[in-house]
Amino acid sequence: MKTTVTLGLLADSLVEQLRDTGIPEQELKILDQFADAISLLKIHGMLSDKATESARKKLMTKIRAEFKKANRRTK
């Protein structure tokens, strides 16, 4: 199953984007808070472009891990 995730200020929340993936909603809310925090720090000039990219890559790694964990639960 291929799932596309969009991050950034204008992106839908991760709860909305990943609702049907099997990741528990509570975990999605936490991931969404991480995404919002990264965006907030970026727009206020507290994260450079490179740091923002690095933080979002780490967030995507966490999202992939949660996706894999959710798929193991459903099998």
The pLDDT tens digits of the residues spanning 17-26 come to 999 999 999 9
pLDDT of 75 reads 61
pTM: 0.90
d(CA 23, CA 69): 8
3-state helix, strand, coil split of the chain in percent (to 5) is: 70, 0, 30
Q: Which of 54, 52, 75, 56 is nearest to 64 (CA)?
A: 56
**Angle, to 10 degrees, between the axis of helix 25-43 and the axis of helix 49-74?**
170
pLDDT of 62 reads 98
pLDDT digits (tens, 9 = 90+) for 34-50: 999 999 999 999 999 99
